[in-house]
Chain A
Amino acid sequence: MKTKDISVIVNGEEVRASVPVRRNLVDFLRTDAGLTGSHVGCEHGVCGACTVEVNGATVRGCLMLAVQADGATVTTVEGFAASGRSAALAAAFTRRNALQCGFCTPGMLASALGYIDRGGTADRAAIREHISGNYCRCTGYQSIVEAICDVIEERTAP
């Protein structure tokens, strides 16, 4: 099995590992970096449970190889929480009951942050469009859209 040495900045810390070249980014995060907050749902880029941020872009952890992240900066749900970046969103998801089993939540937060931090507005249709690549089987999504709206409205409130 061919391996390659890589170095990735994960949640602000450098992680060095020798990884099989076909290892997905999400498997690297879960196995080599020990960060199990990013979940594996479908492993072919549809469900969104593995969504993380790579160099500021919202990325499917199962559609990117770990070796492609060599030298990159990756942020996972644990990093969003530790830095406080997701604090308002986490509070809104909790308050709105925008989670049930919680398995989709880390990926949902990553996608939502990508929308909010790029200046997304509290336009429900636009929010729906943006997170339509993240499946949730439990909530029916109503509360998720409302939670994201809450955060944007709080931020833009005069």
Chain B
Amino acid sequence: MSVAKPLPHDSAPLHVTGQARYIDDIPTPAGTLHLAFGLSTVARGTIIGVDLSAVRAATGVVAVLTAADLPFANDVSPSNHDEPLLATGTVHYIGQPIFCVVATSHLSARKAARLGKIDYAEETPILTIEAALAANSRFEDGPRIWSKGDVDAALTRAPHRLQGRIEMGGQEHFYLEGQAALALPQEGGDMIVHSSTQHPTEIQHKVAEALGLPMNAVRCEVRRMGGGFGGKESQGNALAVACAVAARLTGKPCKMRYDRDDDMIITGKRHDFRIDYDVGYDDRGRVQGIEFTQYTRCGWAMDLSLPVADRAMLHADNAYLLPHARITSHRLKTNTQSATAYRGFGGPQGVLGVERVMDHVAHALGLDPVQVRQVNYYRAAEGGLSAPHRPAASPPEDISGTKAGQDGQDMTSRGAAGGGQRISSGTGGARRFGAEHSPQAEDYGPNTTPYGMEVTDFALHAMTDRLLASCDYAARRAAIAEWNAANPILKRGIGFSPVKFGISFTLTHLNQAGALVHVYQDGSIHLNHGGTEMGQGLFQKVAQVAASRFGVDVSAVKITATDTGKVPNTSATAASSGSDLNGMAVQAACDTIRDRMAACLADLAQTTPDKVRFAEGRVHVGAEVLSFAEAAARVYVNRVSLSATGFYKTPDLSWDRIRGQGRPFYYFAHGAAVTEVVIDTLTGENRILRTDILHDAGASLNPALDIGQVEGGYVQGAGWLTTEELVWDDKGRLRTHAPSTYKIPAVSDRPPVFNVALWDQANPAATVYRSKAVGEPPFMLGISALLALSDAVAACGPAYPALDAPATPERILTAVQKVRG
């Protein structure tokens, strides 16, 4: 069975030969035109004069569009209809598109776009958290506040109490392939759009609105992206819509790609956050009560900021049972790029807030920060998580939500393949646990999150123990202390961080997926689903599911481009949900076809469908053995459909985001990391020396691809907190708009010793083959790098470092001087 095999990425043979096509590599028809935006040069103001005569006169220019030239909707927002494609009278950030040049080449469009003369009545831009609070410039009517228990009383009662603040910067996605789109006009006004997008349905939707067409007149296709990381969830809308409108107006194919500077200036980034905390705790560092106030700069338009800020609140607890907690979230509207989705979607910011608290409390008490974390952990699930693939206890309710029997059956009984992993018969039944197993049980109330969700699958106790042992944490911590005592200039530090990440879109209706599977009469299989491939290996993992259902080799499955004409109404490939949702939808489609085949073949052989077995490329019908191709041909001749759709919706979700109560997640994914660093106390220069990670991918669909996600996620997370610094000047200009000034991790920044292992235990929740989502959770393991740097700084003096992020050499040097007093 191909599931669980460490197969390489399906596109690897194309990647290594240069044949893999990205948007800008697709051969275009003769006469294809190229687009570029003319951008606002002020952060806030009213446009009082527009002179585009020089633009129109420039070499190669075919047309110049302003808002007045747009035939229908002028909106590229994914949420609030507050984001015009082209500015309408007012501008809200430096980089906002005002006009669009259509020219015969990419370069001539870009050159001409610089020739626009725009006069503005400038206003004072709102750039900072302070300015936004002073002006009450925010999304929603006020802050969101969620609470659990009696926080004020708990803070007052606690033996110890401290307050603090952490500032954490945003992050540029820096997908290697910049944003790009290509629109091809069709007969009758229809439009085909190729877009580098994580959300083809939204591209289809926004293009249809912009063209005044129903969605059925627009088809969006995406075979792959050169990286996404959340940056292509909504930020590709502008290019796709501009290309489609220009294609409609000129009748020519139109293509647009941002060059790197434009990409960084125009598009949104990770939300930067400030988090204030006030915590009461006991002598062991056990939190009694805690209050977080989160502030985030959302930029000029709403985009996805509300769910991002919600997810920051939803992860303010991370791995810790907080008996009394209040979380307040301010979503501030500023004259900067509209901050958007980025791997973790607010989760990393929320997690970093509480990890800072744990670090601060441990420092104040003089305790090992790992111990303080363990004391605060949620209680473990009863039994189940230490026993791999253990069937769940009696299910409290049917949460399958899928067609009867699909989840609950031994998969081999329907002939998928022999010898594979059994899916447990429970449907999430391990989500009950016994409080009596934990010594903290009575003291800290039910094992619930601040938003009222019971944590029933907590795996971090055992994972932490294993990781600390495998990386020799205790001995290394002692050795580092000794080394630091002997070395006055260089200081080492070690940091541990866990992650518990909630899996599901918090907008519940997005937790659905569709698939379309065909079996051809030669036995070859055509696979399509709503997920998009951005490098994460989704297509291969889903193909492995399909191959396993038919008992064939994965090479029999043709993976095809995501296409809104094949699978409609898709959700973005986001929230780590790709394999969970699309894997299940494909499984359902394959099972429908397989059941039809079994019924037909059984009928012909005068036996029953349960006597038909699909394994190792063959179909066993009673005593007869057919190749899969022979079986497909026989079924075809007997006039049985070999094509099916599949559908999946995640069960057991309910969520009230205003009250902050419910069960927004189907399950949690876990991970833990230990990072060791060294800093130079004279310069702030620093290096990661070693990283050890243990990550929970459930029963992995593909361990090789999953480890790739863990390694890449960690390095990207460490980059966020160390070298990647976004700087805006006092006019609101982003001064770090290219890799010359914005530093993502290079290979030389990767830890020289990097040990990554998977915690290979089945997901108690009934996910596809009991795997777990793996795209975002490991990103947060990069927090261990910041904590290690903080630990190294703490070796320089008695005060708490309170290191902000990113911990650039400048910040580290400042912190060293501060702790020395």
Contacts and interface: CB of A to CB of B under 8 A. Distances in A.
Nearest to B742: A46
Contact of A39 (B11, B177, B708): B177
Which of B12, B173, B715 has most A Cβ within 10 Å? B12
Nearest to B712: A140
A39 B22 contact: yes
Contacts of A43: 259-260
Contacts of A139: 708, 711-712
**What interface size band does chain A fall in?**
35 or more
Interface in A119-139: 124-125, 128-129, 131-139
Contacts of B752: 124-125, 128
A41 B176 contact: yes
A145 B744 CA distance: 18
Nearest to B22: A103
Contacts of A76: 18
A157 interface: no
Contact of A97 (B224, B704, B738, B746): B704
Interface stretch (B531-539, B560-568, B580-588): B531-539
A18 to B, nearest CB: 15
Contacts of B748: 128-129, 132
B739 A46 contact: yes
Interface string A16-56: 00000000000000100001111111111011010000000
A57 B72 CA distance: 52
B747 A145 contact: yes
Contacts of B537: 100
Interface string B746-761: 1110101010100000
A75 B744 CA distance: 28
B747 A128 contact: yes
Interface string B3-29: 000101101111111111110110000
Contact of A102 (B14, B24, B174): B14
A140 B536 contact: no
Contact of A135 (B24, B738, B744): B744
Interface in B171-188: 173-178
Contacts of A44: 260, 738-740
B243 to A, nearest CB: 18
B229 interface: yes
A137 B174 contact: yes
A144 interface: yes
A113 to B, nearest CB: 12
Contact of B25 (A36, A133, A136): A36
Contacts of A138: 227, 535, 708, 712
Contacts of A104: 176
B16 A86 contact: yes
Given A42-B739, A46-B739, A132-B746, A78 B18 contact: yes
A142 interface: yes
Contact of B224 (A49, A101, A125): A101
Contacts of A142: 711, 750, 754, 756
Contacts of B229: 137
A140 B718 CA distance: 10
B176 A97 contact: no
A94 B8 contact: yes
Contacts of B15: 93, 99, 102, 105-106
Interface residues of B, number: 58
Nearest to B17: A81
B274 to A, nearest CB: 27
A136 B19 CA distance: 18
A67 interface: no
Interface string A74-88: 001110010000100
Contacts of A37: 17-19
A102 B18 CA distance: 9
A49 B15 CA distance: 12
A59 interface: no
Interface in B745-779: 745-748, 750, 752, 754, 756
A40 B22 CA distance: 11
A93 to B, nearest CB: 5
A143 B708 contact: yes
Which of B8, B15, B752 has most A Cβ within 10 Å? B15
Which of A35, A102, A139 has most B Cβ within 10 Å? A102
A123 B682 CA distance: 30
A98 B276 CA distance: 40
A95 B150 CA distance: 55
A39 B224 CA distance: 14
A143 B712 CA distance: 10
Given A140-B714, A140-B750, A36 B708 contact: no
A152 interface: no
A46 B742 CA distance: 11
A137 B711 contact: no
Given A35-B18, A101-B535, A128 B227 contact: no
Given A43-B260, A101-B177, A95 B8 contact: yes
B757 to A, nearest CB: 13
Given A97-B705, A143-B708, A136 B714 contact: no
A49 to B, nearest CB: 6
B708 to A, nearest CB: 5
A131 B747 contact: yes
B287 to A, nearest CB: 33
Contacts of A42: 260, 738-739
B325 interface: no
A129 B59 CA distance: 44
A150 to B, nearest CB: 14
A8 interface: no
B175 A38 contact: no
Contacts of A81: 16-18
Interface of B: 6, 8-9, 11-22, 24-25, 59, 173-178, 224-229, 259-260, 534-537, 704-705, 707-708, 711-716, 738-740, 744-748, 750, 752, 754, 756
13 contacts: A41-B177, A42-B738, A76-B18, A94-B13, A97-B12, A101-B176, A102-B12, A103-B22, A106-B15, A109-B16, A138-B535, A140-B711, A141-B715
Given A103-B22, A140-B750, A142-B750, 17 more contacts: A37-B17, A39-B176, A42-B738, A44-B260, A44-B739, A47-B260, A93-B12, A100-B9, A101-B176, A103-B226, A106-B18, A128-B747, A135-B176, A137-B176, A139-B708, A142-B754, A145-B750
Please list the 9 inter-chain residue pairs (A to B) with the smallest Cβ-Cβ separation, ordered nearest first: A37-B18, A101-B535, A103-B226, A102-B15, A100-B535, A140-B715, A140-B711, A77-B18, A90-B16
